[in-house]
Amino acid sequence: MTTSVVHCSALFLTAPSSNQGKTTITAALARYFTNQGKVVRVFKTGPDYLDPQILAQASKQPVEQLDIWMAGEYYCQDKLYQAAQIADLILVEGAMGMFDGEPSSADLAARFGIPMAIVMDVKGMAQTAAAVATGLANFRDDVQVAGLIANRCGSERHAELIRDALPASLPLLATLKRDDEITLPERHLGLVQADEVKDELEIRFEAAVEWLQETQDSGLLSLPNAVPFYPANQVDAEQTIEQHLLGKTIAVAKDAAFSFIYDANLIALKSLGAELVFFSPLHDQALPKADALWLPGGYPELHSKTLSENTVMRQAIQDFYQAGKGILAECGGMLYSLETLTDLEENEYPMLGILAGQGAMRGKRGCQGMQTAVTPQGDIRGHAHHRSRSANTPEPVGYGRRQRHPAPGEAIYQQKGLTASYLHLFFPSNLDATAKLFLANPQD
Protein backbone atom coordinates (compact mmCIF):
# COMPACT_ATOMS: atom_id res chain seq x y z
CA MET A 1 0.00 0.00 0.00
CA THR A 2 1.29 3.46 -0.89
CA THR A 3 2.47 5.66 1.95
CA SER A 4 2.60 8.94 -0.01
CA VAL A 5 0.12 11.81 -0.03
CA VAL A 6 -3.22 11.07 -1.72
CA HIS A 7 -5.46 13.72 -3.27
CA CYS A 8 -9.24 13.34 -3.15
CA SER A 9 -12.19 15.67 -3.66
CA ALA A 10 -13.63 16.59 -0.27
CA LEU A 11 -16.27 18.81 1.27
CA PHE A 12 -17.30 19.41 4.89
CA LEU A 13 -21.01 20.18 5.41
CA THR A 14 -21.54 22.53 8.35
CA ALA A 15 -24.21 24.97 9.56
CA PRO A 16 -24.85 27.82 12.00
CA SER A 17 -26.87 25.42 14.22
CA SER A 18 -28.60 22.07 14.31
CA ASN A 19 -31.77 21.45 12.25
CA GLN A 20 -30.58 23.31 9.16
CA GLY A 21 -30.72 20.27 6.85
CA LYS A 22 -27.11 19.02 6.95
CA THR A 23 -27.97 15.31 6.98
CA THR A 24 -30.58 15.64 4.25
CA ILE A 25 -28.18 17.51 1.97
CA THR A 26 -25.22 15.25 2.77
CA ALA A 27 -27.35 12.20 1.94
CA ALA A 28 -28.57 13.84 -1.27
CA LEU A 29 -25.03 14.60 -2.39
CA ALA A 30 -23.86 11.10 -1.51
CA ARG A 31 -26.61 9.52 -3.57
CA TYR A 32 -26.21 12.01 -6.45
CA PHE A 33 -22.52 11.18 -6.97
CA THR A 34 -23.02 7.49 -6.23
CA ASN A 35 -25.59 7.40 -9.04
CA GLN A 36 -22.89 8.82 -11.30
CA GLY A 37 -20.68 5.84 -10.53
CA LYS A 38 -18.45 7.64 -8.04
CA VAL A 39 -17.22 6.08 -4.81
CA VAL A 40 -18.39 8.36 -2.01
CA ARG A 41 -17.08 7.93 1.52
CA VAL A 42 -19.03 9.83 4.16
CA PHE A 43 -17.91 10.59 7.71
CA LYS A 44 -19.97 12.00 10.56
CA THR A 45 -18.43 14.20 13.24
CA GLY A 46 -19.13 13.48 16.87
CA PRO A 47 -20.96 10.67 18.66
CA ASP A 48 -23.89 9.80 16.42
CA TYR A 49 -25.48 6.44 15.57
CA LEU A 50 -28.53 7.40 13.53
CA ASP A 51 -27.12 9.80 10.92
CA PRO A 52 -24.42 7.29 9.87
CA GLN A 53 -27.11 4.65 9.21
CA ILE A 54 -28.88 7.06 6.85
CA LEU A 55 -25.67 8.18 5.17
CA ALA A 56 -24.42 4.62 4.71
CA GLN A 57 -27.58 3.73 2.83
CA ALA A 58 -27.34 6.89 0.72
CA SER A 59 -23.69 6.33 -0.23
CA LYS A 60 -23.77 2.51 -0.27
CA GLN A 61 -20.51 2.66 1.68
CA PRO A 62 -19.68 2.31 5.40
CA VAL A 63 -19.84 5.50 7.45
CA GLU A 64 -17.64 6.09 10.48
CA GLN A 65 -17.18 8.82 13.08
CA LEU A 66 -14.47 11.48 13.09
CA ASP A 67 -13.94 13.24 16.39
CA ILE A 68 -10.61 14.61 17.58
CA TRP A 69 -11.50 14.40 21.28
CA MET A 70 -13.19 11.00 21.24
CA ALA A 71 -10.90 9.26 18.76
CA GLY A 72 -7.72 11.34 18.56
CA GLU A 73 -5.97 13.06 15.66
CA TYR A 74 -4.02 9.96 14.61
CA TYR A 75 -7.22 7.94 14.27
CA CYS A 76 -9.01 10.67 12.27
CA GLN A 77 -6.04 11.22 9.97
CA ASP A 78 -5.71 7.51 9.30
CA LYS A 79 -9.42 7.11 8.51
CA LEU A 80 -9.37 10.01 6.05
CA TYR A 81 -6.20 8.77 4.41
CA GLN A 82 -7.54 5.25 3.97
CA ALA A 83 -10.79 6.62 2.49
CA ALA A 84 -8.93 8.92 0.11
CA GLN A 85 -7.17 5.94 -1.44
CA ILE A 86 -10.44 4.40 -2.66
CA ALA A 87 -12.90 7.29 -2.92
CA ASP A 88 -13.70 9.81 -5.63
CA LEU A 89 -15.31 12.06 -3.03
CA ILE A 90 -15.12 12.42 0.76
CA LEU A 91 -18.02 14.13 2.50
CA VAL A 92 -17.93 15.02 6.20
CA GLU A 93 -21.12 16.02 7.99
CA GLY A 94 -20.58 18.31 10.95
CA ALA A 95 -22.38 18.34 14.29
CA MET A 96 -24.41 21.17 15.81
CA GLY A 97 -23.13 24.59 14.71
CA MET A 98 -19.89 25.27 12.88
CA PHE A 99 -17.95 26.42 15.96
CA ASP A 100 -19.84 24.54 18.67
CA GLY A 101 -18.01 22.09 20.90
CA GLU A 102 -14.40 21.61 21.91
CA PRO A 103 -13.12 20.54 19.45
CA SER A 104 -15.66 21.86 16.94
CA SER A 105 -16.48 20.92 13.37
CA ALA A 106 -14.36 23.90 12.31
CA ASP A 107 -11.42 22.52 14.30
CA LEU A 108 -11.65 19.19 12.48
CA ALA A 109 -11.97 20.83 9.05
CA ALA A 110 -9.06 23.17 9.75
CA ARG A 111 -6.83 20.37 11.03
CA PHE A 112 -7.21 18.36 7.82
CA GLY A 113 -7.64 21.20 5.33
CA ILE A 114 -11.15 20.27 4.19
CA PRO A 115 -13.21 23.17 2.73
CA MET A 116 -16.54 23.77 4.46
CA ALA A 117 -19.91 24.46 2.86
CA ILE A 118 -22.36 26.30 5.10
CA VAL A 119 -25.87 24.83 5.07
CA MET A 120 -28.49 27.35 6.17
CA ASP A 121 -32.26 27.20 6.40
CA VAL A 122 -33.04 30.59 4.85
CA LYS A 123 -36.80 30.55 5.37
CA GLY A 124 -37.84 33.93 6.76
CA MET A 125 -34.66 35.81 5.80
CA ALA A 126 -32.77 36.94 2.73
CA GLN A 127 -29.84 39.39 2.98
CA THR A 128 -29.50 38.42 6.64
CA ALA A 129 -28.62 34.89 5.52
CA ALA A 130 -25.73 36.36 3.56
CA ALA A 131 -24.63 38.37 6.59
CA VAL A 132 -24.66 35.33 8.88
CA ALA A 133 -22.81 33.18 6.34
CA THR A 134 -20.22 35.91 5.81
CA GLY A 135 -19.67 36.18 9.54
CA LEU A 136 -19.18 32.44 9.87
CA ALA A 137 -16.81 32.34 6.90
CA ASN A 138 -14.63 35.12 8.31
CA PHE A 139 -14.70 34.16 11.98
CA ARG A 140 -11.40 32.25 11.75
CA ASP A 141 -8.48 32.55 9.37
CA ASP A 142 -7.63 28.83 9.37
CA VAL A 143 -10.99 27.66 8.01
CA GLN A 144 -11.67 27.46 4.28
CA VAL A 145 -15.30 28.08 3.27
CA ALA A 146 -16.33 26.97 -0.20
CA GLY A 147 -19.70 28.73 -0.16
CA LEU A 148 -23.29 28.80 1.09
CA ILE A 149 -26.04 26.24 0.51
CA ALA A 150 -29.38 28.04 0.90
CA ASN A 151 -31.86 25.43 2.09
CA ARG A 152 -35.64 25.94 1.96
CA CYS A 153 -35.30 28.84 -0.46
CA GLY A 154 -38.75 30.11 -1.47
CA SER A 155 -38.21 31.38 -5.00
CA GLU A 156 -35.66 32.56 -7.53
CA ARG A 157 -36.22 36.13 -6.29
CA HIS A 158 -35.43 34.92 -2.76
CA ALA A 159 -32.25 33.30 -4.04
CA GLU A 160 -31.31 36.46 -5.96
CA LEU A 161 -31.52 38.59 -2.82
CA ILE A 162 -29.16 36.25 -1.00
CA ARG A 163 -26.81 35.86 -3.96
CA ASP A 164 -26.47 39.61 -4.50
CA ALA A 165 -25.73 40.21 -0.81
CA LEU A 166 -22.89 37.69 -0.65
CA PRO A 167 -19.29 38.82 -1.19
CA ALA A 168 -17.50 37.50 -4.27
CA SER A 169 -15.36 35.30 -2.02
CA LEU A 170 -18.43 33.41 -0.77
CA PRO A 171 -20.42 31.93 -3.69
CA LEU A 172 -23.95 30.60 -3.43
CA LEU A 173 -23.39 26.90 -4.15
CA ALA A 174 -27.04 25.86 -4.27
CA THR A 175 -30.53 27.18 -3.66
CA LEU A 176 -32.76 24.32 -2.58
CA LYS A 177 -36.52 24.77 -2.59
CA ARG A 178 -38.76 23.95 0.33
CA ASP A 179 -39.81 20.32 0.07
CA ASP A 180 -41.02 18.46 3.16
CA GLU A 181 -41.06 15.19 1.21
CA ILE A 182 -37.25 15.29 1.21
CA THR A 183 -36.92 15.76 4.99
CA LEU A 184 -35.75 12.67 6.86
CA PRO A 185 -38.08 11.10 9.48
CA GLU A 186 -37.29 11.71 13.18
CA ARG A 187 -38.13 10.52 16.70
CA HIS A 188 -37.19 11.49 20.26
CA LEU A 189 -33.43 10.80 20.09
CA GLY A 190 -32.96 11.94 16.49
CA LEU A 191 -33.55 10.40 13.09
CA VAL A 192 -35.47 7.15 12.72
CA GLN A 193 -33.19 4.13 12.22
CA ALA A 194 -32.48 3.41 8.56
CA ASP A 195 -33.46 -0.26 8.77
CA GLU A 196 -36.97 0.70 9.90
CA VAL A 197 -37.65 2.87 6.83
CA LYS A 198 -35.26 1.49 4.23
CA ASP A 199 -37.72 1.59 1.32
CA GLU A 200 -39.03 5.03 2.28
CA LEU A 201 -35.48 6.35 2.41
CA GLU A 202 -34.76 5.10 -1.09
CA ILE A 203 -37.69 7.13 -2.37
CA ARG A 204 -36.51 10.19 -0.47
CA PHE A 205 -32.90 9.81 -1.67
CA GLU A 206 -33.88 9.69 -5.31
CA ALA A 207 -36.26 12.63 -4.82
CA ALA A 208 -33.40 14.48 -3.15
CA VAL A 209 -31.20 13.92 -6.20
CA GLU A 210 -33.84 15.59 -8.37
CA TRP A 211 -34.11 18.32 -5.74
CA LEU A 212 -30.37 19.03 -6.04
CA GLN A 213 -30.53 19.10 -9.82
CA GLU A 214 -33.28 21.74 -9.74
CA THR A 215 -31.05 24.32 -8.04
CA GLN A 216 -30.45 27.59 -9.89
CA ASP A 217 -26.80 27.37 -8.87
CA SER A 218 -24.44 24.58 -9.94
CA GLY A 219 -21.75 24.70 -7.27
CA LEU A 220 -22.74 21.31 -5.83
CA LEU A 221 -23.26 19.42 -9.08
CA SER A 222 -19.58 18.80 -9.85
CA LEU A 223 -16.88 17.30 -7.70
CA PRO A 224 -15.25 19.82 -5.35
CA ASN A 225 -11.54 20.54 -5.43
CA ALA A 226 -9.13 17.81 -4.39
CA VAL A 227 -7.59 17.94 -0.92
CA PRO A 228 -4.26 16.34 0.04
CA PHE A 229 -4.53 13.61 2.67
CA TYR A 230 -1.41 12.40 4.43
CA PRO A 231 -0.64 9.05 6.03
CA ALA A 232 -0.73 8.95 9.80
CA ASN A 233 2.65 8.21 11.32
CA GLN A 234 2.39 5.07 13.45
CA VAL A 235 4.66 6.62 16.07
CA ASP A 236 1.86 9.11 16.75
CA ALA A 237 -0.45 6.31 17.86
CA GLU A 238 -1.05 6.20 21.60
CA GLN A 239 -1.39 2.44 21.73
CA THR A 240 -0.35 -0.70 19.93
CA ILE A 241 -2.90 -3.40 19.32
CA GLU A 242 -2.46 -6.60 21.30
CA GLN A 243 -5.00 -9.34 20.64
CA HIS A 244 -6.29 -9.70 24.19
CA LEU A 245 -9.53 -11.25 22.89
CA LEU A 246 -7.95 -13.79 20.57
CA GLY A 247 -10.04 -16.96 20.58
CA LYS A 248 -12.96 -15.23 22.31
CA THR A 249 -16.43 -14.97 20.78
CA ILE A 250 -18.54 -11.92 21.63
CA ALA A 251 -22.30 -12.05 21.10
CA VAL A 252 -23.62 -8.62 20.08
CA ALA A 253 -27.29 -7.69 20.52
CA LYS A 254 -28.49 -6.13 17.28
CA ASP A 255 -32.11 -5.52 16.31
CA ALA A 256 -34.67 -2.71 16.38
CA ALA A 257 -34.22 -2.34 20.15
CA PHE A 258 -30.40 -2.42 20.19
CA SER A 259 -28.65 -0.75 17.27
CA PHE A 260 -26.45 2.05 18.60
CA ILE A 261 -23.28 0.36 17.40
CA TYR A 262 -20.29 2.19 15.97
CA ASP A 263 -18.75 0.33 13.07
CA ALA A 264 -15.46 1.49 14.62
CA ASN A 265 -16.28 -0.52 17.75
CA LEU A 266 -16.89 -3.69 15.76
CA ILE A 267 -13.61 -3.16 13.90
CA ALA A 268 -11.87 -2.58 17.24
CA LEU A 269 -13.15 -5.84 18.73
CA LYS A 270 -12.01 -7.75 15.66
CA SER A 271 -8.58 -6.09 15.86
CA LEU A 272 -8.37 -7.40 19.44
CA GLY A 273 -8.83 -10.91 18.07
CA ALA A 274 -12.52 -11.42 18.89
CA GLU A 275 -15.00 -13.25 16.71
CA LEU A 276 -18.38 -11.51 16.59
CA VAL A 277 -21.81 -13.10 16.38
CA PHE A 278 -25.09 -11.20 16.40
CA PHE A 279 -28.41 -12.03 18.00
CA SER A 280 -31.79 -10.45 18.65
CA PRO A 281 -33.09 -10.10 22.23
CA LEU A 282 -36.45 -9.29 20.66
CA HIS A 283 -36.92 -12.39 18.55
CA ASP A 284 -34.30 -15.09 19.20
CA GLN A 285 -35.00 -17.93 21.58
CA ALA A 286 -31.41 -18.66 22.50
CA LEU A 287 -28.07 -16.94 22.92
CA PRO A 288 -25.38 -17.92 20.45
CA LYS A 289 -22.42 -19.74 21.96
CA ALA A 290 -20.13 -16.99 23.24
CA ASP A 291 -17.56 -16.02 25.85
CA ALA A 292 -18.86 -12.48 26.34
CA LEU A 293 -21.93 -10.37 25.62
CA TRP A 294 -22.43 -6.79 24.43
CA LEU A 295 -25.81 -5.11 25.00
CA PRO A 296 -25.44 -1.75 23.19
CA GLY A 297 -27.76 1.22 23.30
CA GLY A 298 -30.88 1.69 21.22
CA TYR A 299 -34.60 1.98 21.80
CA PRO A 300 -35.59 -0.73 24.31
CA GLU A 301 -38.37 1.60 25.54
CA LEU A 302 -40.13 1.23 22.19
CA HIS A 303 -40.00 -2.56 22.45
CA SER A 304 -40.18 -3.14 26.20
CA LYS A 305 -43.29 -5.33 26.01
CA THR A 306 -41.72 -7.66 23.43
CA LEU A 307 -38.43 -7.77 25.33
CA SER A 308 -40.28 -8.60 28.53
CA GLU A 309 -42.34 -11.34 26.91
CA ASN A 310 -39.29 -13.10 25.48
CA THR A 311 -38.75 -14.92 28.77
CA VAL A 312 -36.56 -17.59 27.18
CA MET A 313 -34.02 -14.97 26.11
CA ARG A 314 -34.23 -13.22 29.46
CA GLN A 315 -33.46 -16.50 31.23
CA ALA A 316 -30.56 -17.22 28.88
CA ILE A 317 -28.93 -13.87 29.62
CA GLN A 318 -29.57 -14.29 33.36
CA ASP A 319 -27.79 -17.65 33.22
CA PHE A 320 -24.95 -16.07 31.25
CA TYR A 321 -24.59 -13.44 33.97
CA GLN A 322 -24.70 -15.98 36.79
CA ALA A 323 -21.88 -17.88 35.07
CA GLY A 324 -19.70 -14.79 35.60
CA LYS A 325 -19.05 -14.18 31.91
CA GLY A 326 -18.20 -10.70 30.62
CA ILE A 327 -21.16 -8.46 29.77
CA LEU A 328 -21.03 -4.82 28.66
CA ALA A 329 -24.39 -3.02 28.87
CA GLU A 330 -24.53 0.53 27.49
CA CYS A 331 -27.45 2.93 27.98
CA GLY A 332 -30.39 1.03 26.45
CA GLY A 333 -28.52 -2.17 27.26
CA MET A 334 -28.26 -1.03 30.86
CA LEU A 335 -32.01 -0.31 30.97
CA TYR A 336 -32.61 -3.84 29.71
CA SER A 337 -30.33 -5.13 32.49
CA LEU A 338 -32.42 -3.52 35.25
CA GLU A 339 -35.33 -5.11 37.08
CA THR A 340 -38.05 -3.10 35.33
CA LEU A 341 -38.47 -0.50 32.58
CA THR A 342 -41.34 2.01 32.37
CA ASP A 343 -42.02 3.24 28.84
CA LEU A 344 -43.30 6.61 27.61
CA GLU A 345 -46.91 5.50 28.17
CA GLU A 346 -46.15 4.70 31.84
CA ASN A 347 -46.36 0.93 31.27
CA GLU A 348 -43.93 -0.99 33.49
CA TYR A 349 -42.37 -4.23 32.26
CA PRO A 350 -39.96 -6.70 33.89
CA MET A 351 -36.50 -6.78 32.33
CA LEU A 352 -33.41 -8.94 32.95
CA GLY A 353 -32.90 -8.13 36.60
CA ILE A 354 -29.15 -8.71 36.46
CA LEU A 355 -28.61 -5.19 37.84
CA ALA A 356 -30.70 -3.89 40.72
CA GLY A 357 -32.84 -0.87 39.95
CA GLN A 358 -35.66 0.47 37.83
CA GLY A 359 -35.52 2.43 34.60
CA ALA A 360 -38.12 4.91 33.35
CA MET A 361 -38.46 7.20 30.35
CA ARG A 362 -38.92 10.89 31.05
CA GLY A 363 -40.11 12.51 27.84
CA LYS A 364 -38.10 15.38 26.40
CA ARG A 365 -35.76 16.04 29.32
CA GLY A 366 -32.51 14.14 29.24
CA CYS A 367 -28.75 14.10 29.51
CA GLN A 368 -26.14 14.35 26.81
CA GLY A 369 -22.50 15.25 26.46
CA MET A 370 -18.99 13.91 26.04
CA GLN A 371 -17.55 11.98 28.98
CA THR A 372 -14.66 9.71 29.80
CA ALA A 373 -15.66 6.46 31.50
CA VAL A 374 -13.34 6.14 34.47
CA THR A 375 -13.24 2.40 35.17
CA PRO A 376 -10.90 0.18 37.20
CA GLN A 377 -9.69 -1.17 33.84
CA GLY A 378 -8.76 2.25 32.45
CA ASP A 379 -10.27 5.38 30.94
CA ILE A 380 -12.42 4.98 27.82
CA ARG A 381 -13.87 7.98 26.03
CA GLY A 382 -17.49 8.15 24.99
CA HIS A 383 -20.69 10.11 25.45
CA ALA A 384 -24.08 10.15 27.13
CA HIS A 385 -27.37 10.74 25.33
CA HIS A 386 -30.55 9.54 27.01
CA ARG A 387 -34.02 10.60 28.06
CA SER A 388 -34.56 8.16 30.88
CA ARG A 389 -33.61 7.80 34.52
CA SER A 390 -32.64 4.92 36.73
CA ALA A 391 -33.33 4.50 40.44
CA ASN A 392 -32.32 2.21 43.32
CA THR A 393 -29.18 1.06 41.53
CA PRO A 394 -26.10 -0.32 43.35
CA GLU A 395 -23.09 1.69 44.47
CA PRO A 396 -21.08 2.55 41.34
CA VAL A 397 -17.41 1.69 40.91
CA GLY A 398 -16.80 4.97 39.16
CA TYR A 399 -18.30 7.88 37.24
CA GLY A 400 -17.88 9.47 33.90
CA ARG A 401 -15.56 12.48 33.77
CA ARG A 402 -17.27 15.27 31.88
CA GLN A 403 -15.33 16.99 29.15
CA ARG A 404 -15.84 20.54 30.43
CA HIS A 405 -17.60 20.34 33.82
CA PRO A 406 -16.32 19.24 37.23
CA ALA A 407 -19.54 17.50 38.35
CA PRO A 408 -19.48 13.67 38.26
CA GLY A 409 -20.87 12.17 35.06
CA GLU A 410 -22.76 8.93 34.53
CA ALA A 411 -22.44 6.18 37.13
CA ILE A 412 -20.56 3.01 36.13
CA TYR A 413 -21.55 -0.30 37.72
CA GLN A 414 -19.59 -3.54 37.90
CA GLN A 415 -20.56 -6.83 39.49
CA LYS A 416 -19.63 -10.38 38.55
CA GLY A 417 -18.72 -10.03 34.87
CA LEU A 418 -21.15 -7.15 34.22
CA THR A 419 -20.15 -3.58 33.39
CA ALA A 420 -23.16 -1.27 32.97
CA SER A 421 -23.55 2.46 32.44
CA TYR A 422 -25.51 5.06 30.53
CA LEU A 423 -22.28 5.87 28.69
CA HIS A 424 -21.77 4.84 25.08
CA LEU A 425 -18.10 3.90 24.78
CA PHE A 426 -15.80 4.49 21.82
CA PHE A 427 -13.64 1.37 21.98
CA PRO A 428 -10.69 2.61 19.85
CA SER A 429 -9.94 5.27 22.48
CA ASN A 430 -8.53 2.55 24.78
CA LEU A 431 -8.35 -0.92 23.30
CA ASP A 432 -6.67 -2.54 26.32
CA ALA A 433 -9.30 -1.31 28.77
CA THR A 434 -12.09 -2.28 26.37
CA ALA A 435 -10.76 -5.83 26.10
CA LYS A 436 -10.77 -6.21 29.88
CA LEU A 437 -14.47 -5.28 30.07
CA PHE A 438 -15.32 -8.31 27.97
CA LEU A 439 -13.32 -10.72 30.06
CA ALA A 440 -14.87 -12.53 33.02
CA ASN A 441 -14.65 -10.71 36.36
CA PRO A 442 -13.52 -7.32 34.95
CA GLN A 443 -12.39 -6.10 38.37
CA ASP A 444 -9.77 -8.87 38.68
The answer to whether residue 233 scores a pLDDT higher than 80 is no
pLDDT at 364 over 70: no
Nearest to 213 by CA among 77, 414, 405, 29: 29
Average pLDDT of 6-10?
A: 98
What is the structure's pLDDT at 106?
97
Domain spans, the chain: 6-234, 249-437
Which secondary-structure segment (H or E) carries 267?
helix 263-271
The phi, psi pair for 115, rounded to 5°, reads -65, 145
Mean pLDDT for the chain overall: 90
For the question of residue 331 being annotated catalytic, the response is yes
**CA-wise closest residue to 392 among 359, 362, 416:** 359
pLDDT in tens, 372-392: 999 999 999 999 887 888 999
Active-site residue among 8, 153, 331, 367?
A: 331
Q: Is residue 5 over pLDDT 70?
A: yes
Residue pLDDT, tens place only, 265-315: 999 999 999 999 999 999 999 999 999 999 999 999 999 999 999 999 999
Separation between Cα atoms, residue 436 and residue 88, nearest integer Å: 39
Task: Name the CATH superfamily, with its identifier, for domain 249-437.
Answer: Class I glutamine amidotransferase (GATase) domain (3.40.50.880)
pLDDT, residue 181, reads 66
Q: Rounded to the nearest 10 degrees, what angle do helices 22-35 and 50-59 cross at? A: 20
- Same CATH fold, 249-437 and 6-234? yes
- Indicate the fold that domain 6-234 takes in CATH: Rossmann fold (3.40.50)
* Region at 271 (left for phi over 0; alpha for psi -120 to 50; beta for the rest): alpha
CB atoms within 10 A of CB 396: 15
